Amino acid sequence: MDTTECTRLLPKPNLDPKHPETWKRHILRQLKYRDKAQKIAFQDVIRSYVNLRERCEQRALITQSLISPSRPFSTSEDLASLKTATGELAYKVVELQQEIKIKDAFLEKQHASLLETHNSLMAVELEKGRLQSDVKKMTDSNLLLKSKYDTLHESYQHLDEVYRKEKLHGSDILEEMIHLKEQAAARMNHRNERRLRARQGLHKDLEMASSKSLNIDTVPKSVSLPSSPLLHRNERGEHLESSHLRAFRSASVASPRILGSIRGLFDKKRRGNSVSSLEEDLYTPLGVCLVARVPTKVIQSVDAHELGINAVRFSPRSNLLATGGTDRVIKLWDISSGMLHYRGTLDGSNEGITSIEFDLTGSRIVAGSYDNSALIWQLDESVPKCILTGHSRKVTAARFKYNLRQVLTGSGDRTVKIWDLQRAACIQTIEVLSYCSDIVCSDYYIISGHFDRKIRFWDSRASSCTQEVPLQGRVTSLDISPNHRQLLSCSRDDSLQLVDLRMSNTRMAFRAEGFKCGSDSTKAIFSPDGSYLAAGSADGGVYIWNISTGNLETRLPPMHRTSVNAVAWSMSGEYMVSVDKCRCANLWSDI
């Protein structure tokens, strides 16, 4: 501790002018403090110096005695002091050796700790170098990713701009198409009005001609009567044949213009592209099955498609068969003399066909497709007349509504859509809550089957669900009886359920040993007279149940090598066709 420090530690003096001796006492106090502080700092040095001096004196004394050994000790006191000094020195030598050993052990520990610390430091330096290398690599990788991100961001901005332009262009095209369709609809309505006015005028002329009397003997021989009977409808919409031709004879004689108009009505060709021909097609008489015959054997087996067949349907007149498969086409087959004769192919679908249905006139076909669309063909054209797009998943079912101007489609995207054929546009979308596997309909209600094991009844006018019927398995197909009083469902619990539409809680279950529903799209149908149920099984057989008894009527022999996907029963009740996953179609009959 130096003087400055000691001075700093001393108390401040109280210099009072009234006491002249105060500064002297202050100086003495400072000297005492300095002496004490310096003595404390050098006390160990002084003590060591005194001990060293004593040792030096003792060593000098011993040296002197060794140099002059002839000189005897003067007294015994000198000898005793020498022994005492020698013992003390020996004792101190031992103490110092012990201290040296302790210091050496401590130094060894310090050296070991230093070596360990040095090794740890080297490991840390290596880890630091590795981490710096990783940081550099990560920095380089980040820079590369940043450059890629910038490139992708620029590309995204460019594509987004292109998308916006294309979207605007698509909107313009859509508006233009809507405008063109509106113009076409206006022209069609104008032609329909003209035709309606012409018919009204024709009826008035016929009434006026029928009210006139004419002698039959005056009819010219050159005038010929129409060979076809006149068909008209009564108040219920039934097709009737007029047997009163006398009025026509009088009218034809009285007015050749009227006769030419009538002949033009009967001889006029129906054009597939004309929407107004739908009303004329209603005048075509359809076959009615009184008693369906249960088939017993296969009379013909053909490989109808290149791949599996998903759907099959007879035309209303039972003279034409349509099959649709995963090879993207619909094939038409004429039925004559108990044989299938290839007639033609309807193509245009981008994916496989899921369902087929004829309209009531038998002149058009609607089909669902895996490409999320429904397609409509005229039988005399191989390309689709209309393609209905708007679903986000495959169209599992497509049906004509009874007014023939609308089509109903069900899809795996959990929606049912109603389409206006005149505009080829969706006019209503119903959210059906689950994957829709099949649909049936009438003018005002829609029935849908779903994968959540429920059948739902919908009011198409309000888009609301009016009733739900729970089942034990996924619904694969629906069919409605010819009298529209019963609903048939097929489900994955290997059973058929028959629901009375007048009392929805009344149900019958149809099962059979060996019957197994082979897929999520297996179709079950009514017979044309509503007396039997038919469905294909996973074992390649066809099972037929009797509705009145509730029992299995027959099990047709398994003529298929794989699971039967669908069956169709002709409206005449004479033939049945079954199709499978292995492109085979079998024609059944009881002959």
Q: Mean pLDDT for the chain?
A: 80
pLDDT for res 18: 54
Lowest mean pLDDT among 153-162, 178-187, 372-381, 451-460: 178-187
Which residues of 292-432 form beta strands (DSSP E)?
A: 297-303, 309-314, 320-325, 330-336, 339-346, 353-358, 364-369, 373-378, 386-389, 395-400, 406-411, 415-420, 425-431
* CB-CB contact of 458 with 464 (8 Å): yes
Region 488-515 average pLDDT: 89
The token pair that represents 450 in the structure block: 């779903």
The token pair that represents 110 in the structure block: 């310090």
* CB-CB contact of 231 with 283 (8 Å): yes
The token pair that represents 444 in the structure block: 């005002």
Across 47-56, 226-235, 278-287, 568-577, the highest mean pLDDT is recorded for 568-577
Helices (H) and strands (E) in the chain, counts: 6, 30
What does the pLDDT look like over 380-426, one tens digit per residue?
A: 888 999 999 999 999 999 999 877 789 999 999 999 999 999 888 99
- H or E element in which residue 34 lies: helix 22-67
In angstroms, the CA 560 to CA 330 distance is 21
CA atoms within 13 A on the CB side of 386: 22
Q: Which residue has the higher pLDDT, 65 or 394?
A: 394
In angstroms, the CA 338 to CA 336 distance is 5
Query: Exposed, middle or buried by CB within 10 Å (0-12, 13-18, 19+), for 19?
Result: exposed
* CB-CB contact of 317 with 362 (8 Å): yes
Q: What is the pTM of this model?
A: 0.54
Q: Count CB-CB contacts under 10 A for residue 457.
A: 18
Q: Which residue has the higher pLDDT, 109 or 44?
A: 109
Residue 577: pLDDT over 80: yes
* CB-CB contact of 566 with 523 (8 Å): yes
CA atoms within 13 A on the CB side of 324: 29
Which residues of 435-526 form beta strands (DSSP E)?
A: 436-441, 445-450, 454-459, 464-470, 475-480, 486-491, 495-500, 507-510, 524-526
In angstroms, the CA 348 to CA 367 distance is 11
In angstroms, the CA 386 to CA 393 distance is 19
The residue assigned the tokens 């309000």 is 462
Residue 212: pLDDT over 70: no
Query: Exposed, middle or buried by CB within 10 Å (0-12, 13-18, 19+), for 307?
Result: middle
Beta-bridge partners for 581: none
Region 525-544 average pLDDT: 94
End-to-end CA distance of the chain: 135
DSSP state at residue 305: S
3-state secondary structure of 462: coil
* CB-CB contact of 307 with 580 (8 Å): no
